[in-house]
């Protein structure tokens, strides 16, 4: 979708009518790039088209494709990694990008194609002598399909990087570390029977009553790490049982999602979840991702916080800071957008966030 642009002195307008917005002229390229990226569908599992488009645009640099992902620049000691995932959740609303006032709407606009736009412009402005761009697929699905891990395996020299910036939406701040995540399928087994004669069976849903009450009473568990408050939480996120209105259910299946703090190893988190769910007949771990250690004392991150006027907060959700820190790469979450709008049908991003992230990183990295 082409964006109407009218240059007026030192600025430009985007959109038309009451939805038009006047912004500094240097932002026009960022807005155009974000609109271009949003207009390339890239739900998880279908990222090859956006990889090819970014590769074509940055073709003047050294690039290498890894499955549906792209590495721009040659990894090496002392470089800074700019990392962003190219996939989005499935489409839930309107297609394409749309500008209304000071916001750009569209799937992936905040999570995280605005971060990708900033990455592209930083590489085009600064080159790859000191930067490596990692545009990777599969972040919105299970860890087994996340292609950042295979990229780190393919280029072990990335572990010698000075630092990494993951351009996830960070709410005009910096977010250090991240909670880990474990998902488990938890099953209570009964015996089906006709609902008019329930004594001939065992109701799997009723059998889970004590467990459900226990889960409802859980409260967040606070962990303070490097002065940052991380909160551990365990939630039932899906439940399914029964085959018909007149059949006592013989199987009740739930998904339990556990977000654990960075001071808890992944193995301990899995053991803790299993213990909490010990009343169930089956506990099957379906996905597990380690937490990311919060790094707050790196000079590069300290300068970025000062330049961007950012508070450093803990990352309650999971990001690929975890995979990077597991390889010994100091990493921070810093990017345009509001995490609360991620995965929502009306997803959007403030256009001014693009400028904030780009100008801050440009000053620090150059």
The residues annotated with a catalytic role in the active site are: 87, 139
Determine the 3-state secondary structure of 202 from DSSP. strand
Rounded to 10°, the helix 351-365/114-126 angle is 40
Helical residues (DSSP H) of 157-298, grouped into ranges: 204-207, 209-217, 266-276
Under 8 Å between Cβ of 324 and 82: no
Distance CA 227, CA 223 (A): 10
Q: Which residues contact 275 (CB under 8 A, 6 or more apart)?
A: none
Cβ-Cβ contacts under 8 Å for 194 (sequence gap 6 or more): 200, 201, 246, 247, 248
Q: Within 10 Å of residue 352's Cβ, how many Cβ atoms?
A: 16
d(C-alpha 305, C-alpha 294), whole Å: 14
Q: In terms of Cα–Cα distance, which of 129, 115, 180 is closest to 323?
A: 180
Place of tokens 């929502």: 344
């Amino acid at each position: 979708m082409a964006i109407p642009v009218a240059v007026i002195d030192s600025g430009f307008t985007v959109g038309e009518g009451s939805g038009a917005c006047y912004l500094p002229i240097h932002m026009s390229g960022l807005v155009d790039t974000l609109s271009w990226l949003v207009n390339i569908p890239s739900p998880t599992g279908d990222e090859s088209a956006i990889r090819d488009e970014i590769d074509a645009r940055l073709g003047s640099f050294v690039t290498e494709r890894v499955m549906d992902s792209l590495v721009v620049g040659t990894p090496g000691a002392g470089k800074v990694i700019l990392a962003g995932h190219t996939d989005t959740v499935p489409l839930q609303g309107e297609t394409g990008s749309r500008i209304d006032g000071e916001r750009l709407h569209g799937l992936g606009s905040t999570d995280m194609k605005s971060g990708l736009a900033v990455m592209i412009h930083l590489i085009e402005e600064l080159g790859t002598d000191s930067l490596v761009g990692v545009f990777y697929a599969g972040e919105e699905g299970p860890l087994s399909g996340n292609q950042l891990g295979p990229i780190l395996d393919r280029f072990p020299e990335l572990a010698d990087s000075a630092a990494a910036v993951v351009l996830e939406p960070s709410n005009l701040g910096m977010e250090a570390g991240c909670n880990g995540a474990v998902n488990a399928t938890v099953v209570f087994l009964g015996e089906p029977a006709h609902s008019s004669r329930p004594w001939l069976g065992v109701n799997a849903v009723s059998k889970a009553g004590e467990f459900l009450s226990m889960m409802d009473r859980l409260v967040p568990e606070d962990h303070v790490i490097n002065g940052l408050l991380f909160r551990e939480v365990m939630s039932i996120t899906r439940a399914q049982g029964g085959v018909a209105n007149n059949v006592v259910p013989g199987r009740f299946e739930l998904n339990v999602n556990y977000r654990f703090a960075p001071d808890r190893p992944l193995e301990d988190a899995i053991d803790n979840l299993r213990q909490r769910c010990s009343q169930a007949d089956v506990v099957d771990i379906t996905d597990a991702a380690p937490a990311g250690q919060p790094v707050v004392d790196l000079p590069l991150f300290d300068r970025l916080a000062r330049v961007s006027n950012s508070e450093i907060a803990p990352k309650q959700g999971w990001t690929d800071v975890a995979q990077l820190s597991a390889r010994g790469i100091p990493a921070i979450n810093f990017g345009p957008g509001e995490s609360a709008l991620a995965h929502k049908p009306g997803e959007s991003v403030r256009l001014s966030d693009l400028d904030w992230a780009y100008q801050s990183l440009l000053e620090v990295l150059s």
